[in-house]
């Protein structure tokens, strides 16, 4: 008997029992089409649908630092038909926006981590300075303000640059966008000086000469950018090394539904086709338990709360 086939069949029956088959479900994301989170979501949505025998519709609800999307899912029925895919900005929202009509932890059930990715600082090609350290030194020498395009108030991109601004004393003017894709487009267009993007999203533009790489947030230099120093090499600390993407469901979603989604998600992330696609996007699959994701969210919530207090960042 093919026991492996029997196990797969039993898992499929379990998934279909707790999440009714042939139904339509929505995956809500707080980014614009084409941004990193959008690309990650669309990379897995069809395969996830095949695992759960249902159709997933990806719905973009950008704005308000992804809080519009999060609020929609927090208020949705806990029936498994509305899913949130978010990223490491989510844990910061509670500290920066205390009056939000939802709680970043209590209003959701963690399903699982999807992937992680390093960030890369990129600038318009004619911005003075060959790398981050050089750019900062020249800006300070010339007493020049540099403009930074963030993916939104309170996002890791924004908070990390606020910390850099404090460490270096360089005059940085923050320009907040609804998404990282909009921020990067304005850097390419010459409207702002630099931004912090995911490697997958920025790499094609760097290779085409429309952007230049200043630094990467990873611990070591990246194979695709061997001449680009890390932020730590540049002499600055206090930066997280990876961004992450994860899946959440509304609070009060039954445990068996959470388990079904976690099983399906981990099965998707183990597939060679997804691993290959993620590799091409600069992503590392991060299968795991719902409990490990919830722990990571609580750790990051504490981290960003400390940064927000330290820098006295207020909603604008």
Q: Which domains does the chain have, with CATH numbers?
A: 3-117+242-311 (3.40.190.150), 119-216 (3.40.190.10)
Helix (H, G, I), strand (E, B) or coil at 117: strand
Predicted confidence (pLDDT) per residue in 116-133, tens digit: 998 999 999 999 999 999
Q: Residue 285's Cα: distance from chain center in Å?
A: 13
User: Is the pLDDT confidence value at 16 over 60?
Assistant: no
Quote the tokens at residue 14.
């379990």
pLDDT score of 111: 98
What's the rounded mean pLDDT across residues 151-157? 83
Q: Is the pLDDT of residue 11 over 80?
A: no
Of 41, 52, 112, 73, whose CA–CA distance to 258 is shortest? 112
For position 22, what pLDDT does the model report?
A: 66
Determine the pLDDT at residue 18. Answer: 56
| Kind and range of the H or E run holding 263 | helix 255-269
Q: Compute and round to an integer the Cα radius of gyration of the chain.
A: 20
User: What pLDDT was estimated at residue 6?
Assistant: 42
User: Worst-scoring range by mean pLDDT, 73-82, 162-171, 182-191?
Assistant: 162-171
Phi, psi of 136 (to 5 degrees): -65, -45
Per-residue model confidence (pLDDT) at position 21: 57
């Amino acid at each position: 008997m093919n026991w492996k086939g029997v196990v797969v069949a039993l898992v499929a029956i379990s998934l279909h029992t707790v999440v009714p088959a042939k139904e339509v479900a929505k995956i809500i994301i707080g980014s614009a089409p084409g941004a990193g989170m959008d690309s990650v979501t669309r990379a897995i949505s069809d395969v996830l649908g095949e695992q759960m025998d249902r159709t997933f519709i990806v719905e973009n609800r950008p704005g308000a630092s992804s809080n519009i999307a999060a609020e929609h899912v927090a208020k949705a029925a806990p029936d498994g038909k509305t899913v949130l895919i978010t990223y490491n900005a989510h844990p910061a929202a509670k500290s920066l926006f205390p009056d939000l009509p939802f709680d970043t932890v209590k209003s959701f059930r963690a399903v699982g981590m999807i992937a992680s990715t390093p960030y890369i600082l990129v600038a318009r090609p004619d911005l003075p300075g060959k790398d981050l350290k050089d750019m900062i030194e020249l800006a300070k020498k010339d007493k020049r303000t540099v403009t930074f395009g963030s993916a939104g108030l309170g996002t890791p991109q924004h908070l990390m640059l606020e910390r850099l601004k404090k460490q270096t004393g360089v005059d940085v003017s923050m320009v907040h966008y609804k998404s990282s894709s909009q921020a990067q487009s304005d850097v390419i267009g010459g409207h702002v000086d630099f931004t912090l993007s995911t490697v997958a999203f920025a790499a094609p533009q760097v290779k085409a000469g429309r952007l230049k790489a200043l630094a990467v947030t990873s611990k070591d230099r990246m194979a695709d950018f061997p001449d680009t120093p890390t932020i730590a090499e540049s002499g600055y600390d206090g930066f997280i090394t990876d961004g992450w993407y994860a899946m959440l469901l509304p609070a009060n979603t039954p445990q068996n539904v959470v388990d079904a989604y976690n099983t399906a998600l981990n099965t998707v992330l183990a597939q060679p086709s997804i691993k290959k696609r993620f590799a091409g996007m600069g992503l590392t699959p991060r299968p795991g338990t719902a409990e490990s994701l919830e722990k990571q969210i609580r750790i990051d919530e504490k981290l960003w709360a400390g940064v927000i207090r330290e820098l006295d960042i207020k909603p604008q």
